C-alpha cells in the first residue's frame, strides 16, 4: 500500500539523517582532538584515600557512585536534545543531564589546558570539549580524581592534595576524613578565604556537607560530627592585604 511505502521511506530518511548527524559529531570531535598538542598523563602517585574520592566525586558530579559514562556520538546528540527540550526549565532541573563523569572530565581538561599554556597555548573551547570527551572514553573515575587532586591549586605555592593536607590541616593525606576533604575542596575554590574570611569558608563547607548528605555520601551522624569538630583555621591576615569581594 502507498502509505506503507511512504512510512518506510520516511523511516529510512530519518535513519539516514541520524547516521549522518552522528558521523558529523564524531568527525568534529576527531578534528578538534587533532589540535590538542599533547595529552595528559595518568598520575602514578599513591592512591588517594577513599574519603577524598567520595567527596570530590560527589562535589563535581552530584552522585555517590564514581563511574564514568563514555561520551559517544549518541550520548552527545541525545544529551543536547534533552537540553533543548528542557531549556525553559530552571538550571537545577537540567543539572543531571550530563553523562556521569563529564563534569569532572571537563574540570580535568581545563586543568590540562592551563598546564599547556606554560609551553604552548591554552586550548580553545572546542579543543577542551574534545579533550573532555576523550577523557570520558579513556580514563576511569579514579584516574580523573587522581589527576585533579594532583594538580588542584590551594593558593600560594600549594599544588595538590598531598601538599595542602599537611600545610593547612597538619595531616598526612592518607588520614583525611570526609570533613577534611570538604574543607580542602572549598579552599581550592577561593584560596584567599583561608586567611581573610574563615567564617565564609566555614559556611561554604557547611553547604557542601549538606549537599554531600543529600546525595548519600555523608551520613547525618558524620555531618553533625563535622559541625562540632574544632575549626582548623582563624583569620591571620590583615584586612588591608585581603582582596575586596
Q: Which residues contact 236 (CB under 8 A, 6 or more apart)?
A: 195
Its sign, for the CA torsion 98, 104, 108, 111, is positive
pLDDT in tens, 187-238: 888 766 666 777 788 888 889 999 999 998 888 888 888 888 777 764 444 4
| Least confident stretch, 7-11, 56-60, 163-167 | 7-11
Domain boundary among 139, 173, 194: 139
Backbone angles phi, psi at 153, to 5 degrees: -105, 135
Classify the phi-psi angles of 108: left when phi > 0, otherwise alpha if psi is within -120 to 50, otherwise beta: alpha
* Residue 218 and residue 98 in one domain: no
Q: How many domains, in total, are found in the chain? A: 2
Domain boundary among 109, 139, 169: 139
Tell me the mean pLDDT in the region 56-80: 86
In a domain, 210, yes or no: yes
**% of the chain at pLDDT higher than 90:** 32
| Least confident stretch, 35-44, 89-98, 104-113, 163-172 | 89-98
* Residue 77 and residue 93 in one domain: yes
Name the residue range of residue 80's domain.
Answer: 69-139
N residues, the chain? 245
Query: CB–CB of 48/145 below 8 Å?
Result: yes
| Least confident stretch, 30-34, 90-94, 145-149, 190-194 | 90-94
Query: CB–CB of 104/66 below 8 Å?
Result: no
Residue 146 has pLDDT above 90, yes or no: yes
Residue 12 has pLDDT above 60, yes or no: no
pLDDT in tens, 150-178: 999 887 788 999 999 998 888 899 999 88
Amino acid at each position: 500500500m502507498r502509505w506503507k511505502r511512504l512510512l518506510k521511506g520516511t523511516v529510512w530518511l530519518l535513519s539516514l539523517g541520524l547516521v549522518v548527524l552522528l558521523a558529523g559529531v564524531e568527525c568534529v570531535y576527531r578534528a578538534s582532538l587533532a589540535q590538542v598538542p599533547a595529552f595528559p598523563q595518568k598520575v602514578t602517585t599513591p592512591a588517594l584515600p577513599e574519603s577524598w574520592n567520595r567527596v570530590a566525586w560527589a562535589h563535581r558530579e552530584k552522585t555517590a557512585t564514581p563511574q564514568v559514562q563514555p561520551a559517544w556520538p549518541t550520548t552527545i546528540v541525545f544529551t543536547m536534545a534533552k537540553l533543548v527540550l528542557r531549556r525553559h526549565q530552571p538550571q537545577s532541573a537540567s543539572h543531571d543531564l550530563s553523562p556521569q563523569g563529564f563534569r569532572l572530565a571537563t574540570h580535568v581538561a581545563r586543568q590540562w589546558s592551563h598546564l599547556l599554556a606554560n609551553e604552548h597555548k591554552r586550548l580553545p573551547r572546542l579543543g577542551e570539549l574534545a579533550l573532555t570527551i576523550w577523557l570520558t572514553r579513556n580514563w576511569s573515575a579514579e584516574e580523573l580524581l587522581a589527576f585533579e587532586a594532583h594538580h588542584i591549586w590551594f593558593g600560594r605555592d600549594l599544588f595538590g592534595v598531598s601538599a595542602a593536607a599537611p600545610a593547612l590541616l597538619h595531616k598526612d593525606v592518607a588520614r583525611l576524613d570526609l570533613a577534611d576533604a570538604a574543607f580542602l575542596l572549598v579552599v581550592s575554590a577561593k584560596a584567599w578565604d583561608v586567611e581573610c574570611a574563615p567564617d565564609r569558608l566555614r559556611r561554604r563547607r557547611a553547604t557542601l556537607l549538606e549537599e554531600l548528605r543529600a546525595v548519600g555520601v555523608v551520613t547525618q551522624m558524620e555531618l553533625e560530627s563535622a559541625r562540632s569538630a574544632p575549626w582548623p583555621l582563624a583569620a591571620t591576615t590583615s584586612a588591608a592585604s585581603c582582596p575586596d569581594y
